[in-house]
Structure 1
Amino acid sequence: MSIRSRHETVTFRHPFHIRGIDRELPAGCYEVVTDEETIEGLSFPVWRRIATLITVPAESLRGATERLAIGSVDLADAQAADRERCQ
């Protein structure tokens, strides 16, 4: 079984919430890493998401960051809410 990681930067224009994180996060750019694994036994490559992580400012230390597990749907919902606030 192979595992790959996709890295992307997502930008929020407003402070936001993501389900599973108990605090409001500030507007800004965030690194998101999605880990995927192959599904074996097929005649073509298929990847299944196994984890989505976002790097956020740490609550306790100024300037420090922490990587938290989130749901990909929860991230998409937060991005949609941020876009709606711009309209």
Structure 2
Amino acid sequence: MTGRTKHSTVHFDKPFALRGLEEIQPAGDYDIDEDEEMIDGISWIAYRRVATYIHLPARSSNLLTSQVLAIDHAELEAALRQDQEQLA
């Protein structure tokens, strides 16, 4: 099975929390990786997401240590929506 990783950056204007993260994370830009695998048995190329990871700390942090943690993609999307709604 063929796989790929998509890289993106998300922005939070307010501190946020996700299950699996030990602490509330500060506002900022965060790198996100999404692992996808090719779906076999269909006549066109298609992928499905199999894992989502967040890089901690935020890009603007001056901490020397970093970590990559698996998170739930739907929960990330919900946290981003909630962050945007707080601005409105």
Structure 1 length normalisation: TM-score?
0.88
Which residue matches 2:75? 74
Percent identity between the two aligned chains: 40
Once residues 43 and 83 of structure 1 are traced to their aligned partners in structure 2, the CA distance between those partners, rounded to angstroms, is: 38
Matched ranges for 1:1-87 at <5 A: 1-57=1-57, 62-87=63-88
- 1:19, distance to aligned residue in structure 2 (A): 2.4
Once residues 16 and 63 of structure 1 are traced to their aligned partners in structure 2, the CA distance between those partners, rounded to angstroms, is: 21
SS in 2 for 1:4: strand
Which stretches in structure 1 are left out of the alignment for 5+ residues? none
Q: Deviations over 1:25-74 (max 9, x none)?
A: 010000000010011111111211111000012xxxx4311100001101
- 1:82, distance to aligned residue in structure 2 (A): 0.7
Aligned residues: 83
Structure 2 length normalisation: TM-score?
0.87
Which stretches in structure 2 are left out of the alignment for 5+ residues? 58-62
